Amino acid sequence: LNEILIRGLLPLDEYNQTLAGNTHPPDWTNPRPRGRYNLVVVGAGTAGLVAASGAAQLGARVALIEKSLLGGDCLNWGCVPSKAIIRCARAADDTRNLAQFGIRATGETIVDFAAVMERMRRLRSAISFHDSAKRFADMGVDVFLGEARFNSPQSIQVGGTELIFSKALIATGAKAVVPGIDGLAEAGYQTNETIFSLTDLPARLAVIGGGPLGCELAQAFRRLGSEVVIFHRPAHLLEREDEDAARIIQARFVEEGIRLLLNTSPRKVARTGGGKLIHYAGESGEETILVDKILVGAGRAPNVDGLDLESAGVEYDVRSGVKVDDHLRTANPRIYAAGDVCLPYKFTHMAEATAKIALRNSLFSGRARLSDLAIPWVTYTDPEIAHVGMSEREAEEKGIAVDTFVKPLAQVDRAVLDGETEGFAKIHVRRGSGRIAGATIVSRHAGEMITEITLALARGLALNTLSDIIHPYPTQAEAIKGAADLYNRSRLGPRLQKILSFWMALKRSAAVFALGEYMNRAKAALKKSLRGWKKRGD
Ligand SMILES: Cc1cc2nc3c(=O)[nH]c(=O)nc-3n(C[C@H](O)[C@H](O)[C@H](O)COP(=O)(O)OP(=O)(O)OC[C@H]3O[C@@H](n4cnc5c(N)ncnc54)[C@H](O)[C@@H]3O)c2cc1C
């Protein structure tokens, strides 16, 4: 294990040793190459692992190359550790807010940060078995530990060994972008690769970047007890999310005591005896703030360096990554890409979905398309923001006319009973057809709720379909049905309403009522004589 590995795997306790033992066994010997491979996969994050296991199960000869830990960002330095500590932060927040439920807990809520982090390491190491080198070798995948570099359009090098391939998949992921702030490197900072190694809670934490990663971790650390300040260059947090959704999170952050420094970013950082002094342009000129740790969450850059993509004839851009077509094929028709290295949607589920597309298209000449996917994502703040498809802004940019239906959680019984009324289900439909175009849900459980809309969107359903589906009562998912009901009501229109009112009035009138009664009696008499006739016939 090299220095970087150890830096991202501190403390080297039993859990991290298990993690390393699974995902980068220190005593691992690379196999001898077995001639030409059907598929060589570069990078063993989610995309690489999904592709390698899928190909091996389909009988392909597969090689998988990983320079660091199998499992990539998601397992080691991303989703898994962040969601583990977010769970603890939620528990701490719930404990502080018990009074609203009529429960009085005596004494102060004390967060044992070391225990929170140990729990995370324990759970992460337990999960790591699924991504272990041995498990993949047992599946029939040739696992090579080392840095990969293309030699030619059909061969790749790892630790002095050349692998020849029919097809290759680039799945090298992305890394934190570190902004060029004067003195930041000297003062020291955390990224997602080091923050999960902390064992002491930073008393004062500055987060650079108010995007999903920055917001999730800022709220978690605040709830665990840190004083937190977020620097964000735009005027609002989470500017890529629905504006109403982002506004709710921003207000919640202020309520929870997170300091927001918007429209600005650090200009200079200096290490002082008492911490790190950040200089920034404030409202009254140059201002400073003293913190103990700085977390950089200012975007992700694709891992394209060091691969010698030029030798392979693969085109790329240092910002947007490997260039692929809708079938995820690169400029070299033998080579495909999947996951963070080529996508603007940097999510684990997208790494998985694109690995499956690339696998189908590369090994079976498939025609699966990236553009066919309905793409959901979730920002795991509290409340969560879940989104799928188009936003109103995006629809407008594309010239697509949409109508929007919003059900506030304050009107959903379960949310009221849970004391979780902050949020809404907002669904956009294409004007005319009523087909779902996109949606945003803000709720404590938004991530669990969005899949229903994703399914409807992926299958081209109109919103009224969701109104016909029975939603168990009381659940917060009834907000989705509520938005669908609003859509149905909007379809009535004044003319149809007039016709219906006329019809109902007609049904109430004495003459029509008497006629109806007469018809019912006549129908009953006819049925009776028919039954009698049938019996005699028998
Ligand atoms: C803090 C944080 C929280 C996140 N939370 C979520 C979440 O809740 N939900 C979600 O969907 N997504 C989340 N993400 C994003 C998610 O982690 C990524 O989208 C996902 O891991 C991408 O998978 P990947 O396979 O494309 O790349 P990676 O997981 O980055 O894997 C790429 C692998 O390639 C290896 N590699 C790179 N270059 C070479 C080379 N030359 N030779 C050999 N190997 C190489 C790397 O070492 C790495 O292991 C989070 C990310 C972060 C940072």
Counting ligand 1 atoms within 8 A of each CB, the residue from 73, 142, 156, 316 with the most, and so the one to mutate, is 73
Counting ligand 1 atoms within 8 A of each CB, the residue from 7, 85, 348 with the most, and so the one to mutate, is 348
Angle at alpha carbon of residue 8, lines to 78 and 15, rounded to 5°: 85
Backbone phi and psi for residue 451, each to the nearest 5 degrees, phi listed first: -65, -35
Pairing relationship of beta strands 155-158 and 148-152 according to DSSP bridges:
antiparallel
Q: How far is the C-alpha of 120 from the C-alpha of 239, rounded, in Å? A: 30
Question: Which residues does ligand 1 sit against, CB inside 6 Å?
Answer: 42-48, 65-68, 72-74, 78-79, 82-83, 147-148, 171-174, 192, 213, 303, 306-307, 339-341, 346-349, 351, 380
Residue nearest atom 33 in ligand 1 by C-alpha distance: 43
Sign of CA dihedral 46, 388, 390, 234: negative
Q: How far is the C-alpha of 477 from the C-alpha of 412, rounded, in Å? A: 9
Q: Which residues of 253-289 are buried (b: 16+ CB within 10 A; e: fewer)?
A: beeeebebbeeebbeebeeeeebbbbbbeeeeeeeeb
Residue nearest atom 30 in ligand 1 by C-alpha distance: 173
Cα(475) to centroid of ligand 1, in Å?
A: 34
Neighbours of 177 (CB within 10 A): 15
Q: Find the DSSP H helices in 97-196.
A: 113-127, 133-138, 184-187
Counting ligand 1 atoms within 8 A of each CB, the residue from 24, 132, 169, 172 with the most, and so the one to mutate, is 172
Cα(59) to centroid of ligand 1, in Å?
A: 26
Cα(450) to centroid of ligand 1, in Å?
A: 23
Cα(514) to centroid of ligand 1, in Å?
A: 74
Cα(173) to centroid of ligand 1, in Å?
A: 5
Residue nearest atom 51 in ligand 1 by C-alpha distance: 78
Residue nearest atom 3 in ligand 1 by C-alpha distance: 78
Q: How far is the C-alpha of 314 from the C-alpha of 304, rounded, in Å? A: 10
Residue nearest atom 26 in ligand 1 by C-alpha distance: 339
Q: How far is the C-alpha of 460 from the C-alpha of 491, rounded, in Å? A: 19
What distance separates the 2 farthest-apart alpha carbons in the chain?
108
Q: How far is the C-alpha of 182 from the C-alpha of 435, rounded, in Å? A: 50
Residue nearest atom 50 in ligand 1 by C-alpha distance: 78
Cα(405) to centroid of ligand 1, in Å?
A: 35
Cα(5) to centroid of ligand 1, in Å?
A: 15
Q: How far is the C-alpha of 159 from the C-alpha of 170, rounded, in Å? A: 18
Cα(137) to centroid of ligand 1, in Å?
A: 21
Residue nearest atom 12 in ligand 1 by C-alpha distance: 347
Ligand 1 atom closest to Cα of 149?
Answer: 41
Total-model pTM: 0.94
Ligand 1 atom closest to Cα of 343?
Answer: 26
Q: How far is the C-alpha of 207 from the C-alpha of 296, rounded, in Å? A: 6
Q: How far is the C-alpha of 179 from the C-alpha of 202, rounded, in Å? A: 21
- pLDDT digits (tens), the chain, 538 positions: 676 677 789 999 999 999 999 999 999 999 999 999 999 999 999 999 999 999 999 999 999 999 999 999 999 999 999 999 999 999 999 999 999 999 998 888 999 999 999 999 999 999 999 999 999 999 999 999 999 999 999 999 999 999 999 999 999 999 999 999 999 999 999 999 999 999 999 999 999 999 999 999 999 999 999 999 999 999 999 999 999 999 999 999 999 999 999 999 999 999 998 899 999 999 889 999 999 999 999 999 999 999 999 999 999 999 999 999 999 999 999 999 999 999 999 999 999 999 999 999 999 988 999 999 999 999 999 999 999 999 999 999 999 999 999 999 999 999 999 999 999 999 999 999 999 999 999 999 999 999 999 999 999 999 999 999 999 999 999 999 999 999 999 988 788 888 888 888 888 888 888 888 888 999 999 998 888 888 776 5
Cα(426) to centroid of ligand 1, in Å?
A: 30
Cα(77) to centroid of ligand 1, in Å?
A: 8
Tokens of 213: 């990663």
**Nearest by Cα to 199 from 124, 109, 115:** 115
Residue nearest atom 38 in ligand 1 by C-alpha distance: 172
Q: How far is the C-alpha of 479 from the C-alpha of 230, rounded, in Å? A: 32
Length of the chain: 538
Helix (H, G, I), strand (E, B) or coil at 264: coil
Cα(337) to centroid of ligand 1, in Å?
A: 13
Q: Which residues of 70-86 are buried (b: 16+ CB within 10 A; e: fewer)?
A: bbbbbbbbbbbbbebbb
Cα(283) to centroid of ligand 1, in Å?
A: 38
